[in-house]
Amino acid sequence: MTTPAFPSRLPDVGTTIFTVMSALAAEHQAVNLGQGFPDFACAPALVDAVTQAMREGHNQYPPMAGIPALRQAVADKTAALYGRSYDAEHEITITAGATQAILTAVLCCVQPGDEVIVLDPCYDSYVPNIELAGGRVVRVPLTPGTFRPDFARIAAAITPRTRLIIVNSPHNPSATVWSDAEMRQLEALLAPTDVLLISDEVYEHMVYDGAPHCSAARYPGLAERAFIVSSFGKTFHVTGWKVGTVAAPAALTVEFRKVHQFNVFTVNTPMQHGLARYLADPTPYLQLPAFYQAKRDLFRQGLEGSRLRLLPSQGSYFQCVDISAVSDLGEADFCQWLTREVGVAAIPLSAFYGDGFDQRVVRFCYAKKDETLRAAIERLRRL
């Protein structure tokens, strides 16, 4: 018997670079600073809150949009931090992680033939999401070297067919953070258009050196057209729980939930209850910038004086480095060599570009135990 063949919906998609590098790191017992996840535990109080929810019987389907207590906690946090009041009932949705949130936002508003602007380098789920919706991807590069938005190029890319633009700050992979001036420039650029916005803010609580996170929620002209995405997994060191949020005006949320109810329906019940209880104390997420800045500084100070040139790390939990003084290899080959021969795994920035643009820069993740970072530093200083 023969398995029937059919055309692939994503013919250009293979195994992600994150899976490849993590497997290579395991094979060579390398320190894995490639894939972006912590190697330390979450707060015991959060586990206790979820356990308590299970024991209290919160184990059946929750409401499709998320339990009211968690949606209200998200609305309260957003109002306190960013000054915009979202209606928890009609404008906050709990999702199965930020990746599902972004896919659902794309599917609910992009029609076949619509254009969607992404800013390269970008997180690897954006483009397949657009393609699954039948949209046309329009890639606009961030400025090489600094990774700042080029508004002249963004403006030139907007056409009557542009339905949506996706922005990400703090940015994965470059660790840059959009400024207030840049957010206002985006607001002014989109004002005369009907272009919608997905603002990927999963690293919202990882902005350093006293700088604020400039959420799209702060800017009325952006908030009124935006799906604002965040992630409890990133914030509370539980990436495997896959629980995220979307804040959007009621009219957008109606369409978002139409898709949400049929591609995931709802999200893990006891974790929602546990997260709602844990959010009653804002201290954990308010202290997160200092927590990760200490890890960033440990990693950067350890590599000072090495031949790896450190690029700024303003936010997220990533550190990009220029490898030009270390090797003549391209980024992908360098990462393979580094894992096999030096024992540290990294990710090539070229993997985040549609055309594989190679600027001799690789990305490390410092969301690791201090001893993990020190072990990596010891090996990298030998370069």
Say if residue 264 is in the same domain as residue 131.
Answer: yes
120-163, pLDDT tens digit by residue?
999 999 999 999 999 999 999 999 989 999 999 999 999 999 99
pTM (two decimals): 0.96
- Looking at the structure, tell me whether residues 137 and 258 fall in a common domain: yes
How does pLDDT run across 21-53, given as a tens digit for each residue?
Answer: 889 999 999 999 998 889 999 999 999 999 999
CB 76 within 8 A of CB 84: no
Rounded to an integer, what distance in angstroms lies between the CA atom of residue 336 and that of residue 343?
10
Asked if residue 220 and residue 259 are part of one domain, the reply reads yes
Strand order in the sheet with 136-141: 92-95, 244-247, 226-231, 196-200, 162-168, 115-120, 136-141
Cβ contact 92:246 at 8 Å = yes
Domain assignment present for 76: yes
- H or E element that contains 200: strand 196-200
pLDDT band of 14, cuts 50, 70, 90: confident
Q: Is there a domain that residue 8 lies in?
A: no
Axis crossing angle, helix 250-263 with helix 97-109, rounded to the nearest 10: 110
Same domain, 171 and 260: yes
User: Quick one: 99 and 169 in the same domain?
Assistant: yes
Give the Å distances, CA to CA, from 20 to 14, 251, 350.
10, 40, 14
Domain ranges, residue 212: 44-281
Using CA atoms, how far residue 280 sits from 43, 45, 72, 116, 312, in Å, is 14, 12, 11, 37, 34
* Residue 31 and residue 163 in one domain: no
DSSP 111: P
For residues 106-120, average pLDDT: 98
Residues 298 and 275 in one domain: no
Instruction: Quote the number of domains for the chain.
Output: 2
- CB-CB neighbours of 148 under 10 Å: 15
pLDDT at 13: 86
193 Cβ neighbours under 8 A, 6+ residues apart: 158, 162
pLDDT tens by residue, 289-318: 999 999 999 999 999 989 999 999 999 999
| 254 falls within a domain | yes
Element (H, E) at 365: strand 361-365
Q: Residue 203: what pLDDT?
A: 98
Verify that 55 and 182 share a domain, yes or no.
Answer: yes
pLDDT of 194 reads 98
Answer yes or no: are the C-beta atoms of 284 and 134 closer than 8 Å. no
Residue 292 belongs to a domain = yes
List the one residue out of 305, 342, 343 whose CA is nearest residue 325. 305
